[in-house]
Each structure stands twice: as structure tokens, then as C-alpha cells.
Structure 1
Amino acid sequence: MEAEPPSSPSSSGPHACVVRPDLELLEDVLDQLEISSFRDSRGRLGTRWPCFSLFFTIDDQDDVFSARTIYDHFFSVDDKPELCAVLDEWNRDTTGLKVYSATDDDGSVIIVSEAMMRIDGGVTREQFAASTAIWLGNAGSFHLWLTQRLSLSGLAGEPF
């Protein structure tokens, strides 16, 4: 006997448990997780940790919920090839966070991680809260990995 395929959502409208996430809901989720947050000048909701800042956005036009983390390490352009090799190792060996380097206008190189989720059909509050908590945990886990890996490669980077 063949297994039944999962049923698709009804086309008559969203399920009662499905919500359309916004930054106010995200603030509620962060409050429930006992995480302080702030709004930056670009309208993003952010959290600050000892070694990184994490910014959340909800793009209504593209229906995407995303988290972008900026880590408190600065590198010179000369360090970029070796730094990219370290980041490639993370991207090759793990899933969940995409990490990359970015060069600021002043020429310093920073490390950024991103996670995103499509929300065009809405999500349950539980799914939204769980994704947020997982992304926060992943940002911290990556920072621990990065600190160890940079030490092994001899790339310390300048602190923020």
C-alpha cells in the first residue's frame, strides 16, 4: 500500500493558526525569549550580544523573514583570501546559516551571516518563534566556531 501524499492547504484561505508575521510579533517573540531588542535607523529590529549584532527584517514585498548577523571582527583586505577560505569551510560543512565577508566603505572586511524563510503563505506563531530562537542560537554557535577557527588559522581580526 502506498503512502498518501500530504494534503495541501485549502485554497479557500489561510488556516486560523497561521499568522502574517510583522516586527511587532517579532518583538513579542523576543520578549517571550527574554531578549532585549532595539530598532535601528533603517527600521530593522536588532539584538546586541557581546560579540555580534543580529538584525531581523520582514520584507513585505518579497515575503521574506530574514536575520542578518554582523560579527565584531575586522580584517584587512590582505586577509580576505584566507578569511574566505575559513568561511567556505563553514558553508561547505554546515547548513542553516550562510556566511560571507563584506568590505565596508573604509576598506575593512567584516563577517556576516544570514538566514531567511519565506512567509508568503503565512506561518504559525510557533514556527515563527522557533525559527527566531534557532537563528539566535545558530548565530552564537557560529561565533564560537569562528573564534576557534580564526585562532587556528592565525587570523585574529581587530575587535569592534
Structure 2
Amino acid sequence: MSIDPSSIPNFGAQPQPQAAGPAGPVVPDQDLVKQLLEQMELKYVVDDEGDLAAPWEDFRTYFMFRGEAEQQVFSVRTFYDRPHPAEDRIKIMEMVDDWNRRTLWPKVYTHLHEDEQGGATVRLIGEAQMLIGTGVSLEHFVSSTVSWVRASIEFDKWMAEQLGLETGEGDENPGEEA
């Protein structure tokens, strides 16, 4: 199966046209996600657990398949690397709650990260999921995945603005790691 490039928002140069995908439902797999990431001109790696990850400077977005057969779930999960002081957790949770109320995705939650020295910081994780085991429309899968990636980028920018942090002008180039 292949992805119709006209269905993918442009992150950079225009992808080369390919044949349209299947008319009926498909069960997406890692190869389909790799193809989509390549057409979006996003760099990616496969981690030790076999999951695809697209690294940015301040976060990593993983594309994961979990579950069996008809219960299989496709998850796009973003781990934001910016640490927040543990004592700011309530303030961070209030910001995240505001985001979650106003947007569809990613739904973001906090994680208390403890280091070897006994200190703790708050980290943020964003996630969107789709049940794919019985098949989905290829157009729906592509548009949802692209939207989730864009929303993950937007959340990072939004959070930086909420915290009064500077954002680099190079943020428009997703998948480019320093």
C-alpha cells in the first residue's frame, strides 16, 4: 500500500507522486509509518524496543503499535525533554489541564522523574491513540498521524510561550535534530 502524497500537509519540499492507496480499510504497520515519515521529510530511528522515533531538539515522538489482532492500537507518544522543578508540578499541571480542555490532542500528562541523586523533576508526555485492529481508512490514518505530529510540535511551542521561554526560529523544521 502507498500513501497519496496530496493527502499529506507540506513540511518542506513536495514529495514525489505515488500511486493512490487502497480504497478499503487497511491495518497500518510500521512500514506504512516509515513511508509517511519519509514523505513528510522527517528523520526517524528505530529504538531498542523496535519502536519508531522521530527526534526533535527538545522532544522525541514515538510511533508505536500495541496489542493483538482486533484490539491493536496505534499510539503517537511524545516525550518532552524540558525538565520542570518538582515544586512547580501544580502550576505545570494547571497549564497542561488548560491545554487538554482546549485541544483534542495530544492529551498531555505529567511524570515525576527521579534522578540518581534523589532529586526530582516533572516531565511531560503527550499521547494520541487510534484503534486500528479491524482496519481504518488510509486517508484517516494519514491525516490523523500528521495532525498528531503537528499538534505535538504546537504543544511544545505553546508550553514554551506559557513559561516565557524563547523558542528558536528553526522549530519549523520538524525531525531536524541538533
Residue 24 of structure 1 aligns to which amino acid in structure 2?
A: D
- The residue aligned with 2:10 is none
Please tell me the root mean square deviation across aligned C-alpha atoms, in Å. 1.7
How many residues are treated as equivalent by the alignment? 138
Counterpart residue identity of residue 103, structure 1 = L
SS of match in other structure, 1:142: helix
Q: Which has the larger radius of gyration?
A: 1
Q: Does 1:18 align with 2:46?
A: no
8 Å Cα contact 1:86-1:150 kept in structure 2: no
CA distance change for structure 1 residues 60 and 24 in 2, over 3 Å: closer, same or farther? farther
Match of 1:64 in 2: 73
The answer to whether residue 154 in structure 2 is matched with residue 145 in structure 1 is: no
Q: Secondary structure at the match of 2:164?
A: helix
In structure 2, what is the equivalent of residue 40 of structure 1?
47
Scaled by the length of structure 1, what TM-score is found?
0.79
Q: Which residue identity is paired with 1:126? A: E
CA-to-aligned-CA distance 1:57-109 (integer Å, 9 cap, x gap): 01132311111101121022211111111111111222222111111242221
Letter in 1 for 2:45: F
Residue aligned with 2:36, SS: helix
* Structure 1 position 145, deviation (Å): 0.8
1:131 lines up with 2:144 in the alignment: yes
Q: Show the counterpart of 1:78.
A: 87
TM-score, normalised to structure 2, is 0.72
Task: Look up the equivalent residue of 1:100 and give its one-letter code.
Answer: Y
Q: Give the SS at the match of 1:19.
A: coil
Quickly say closer, same or farther: Cα 1:76–1:127, change in 2 above 3 A. Answer: same
Amino acid at match of 1:90: W
Match of 1:101 in 2: 110
Letter in 2 for 1:17: G
Tell me the equivalent position of 2:96. 87
Q: What is the aligned counterpart of 2:126 among 109, 113, 118?
A: 113
SS of aligned partner of 1:18: coil
Structure 1 portions without partners, runs of 5+: 1-14, 153-160
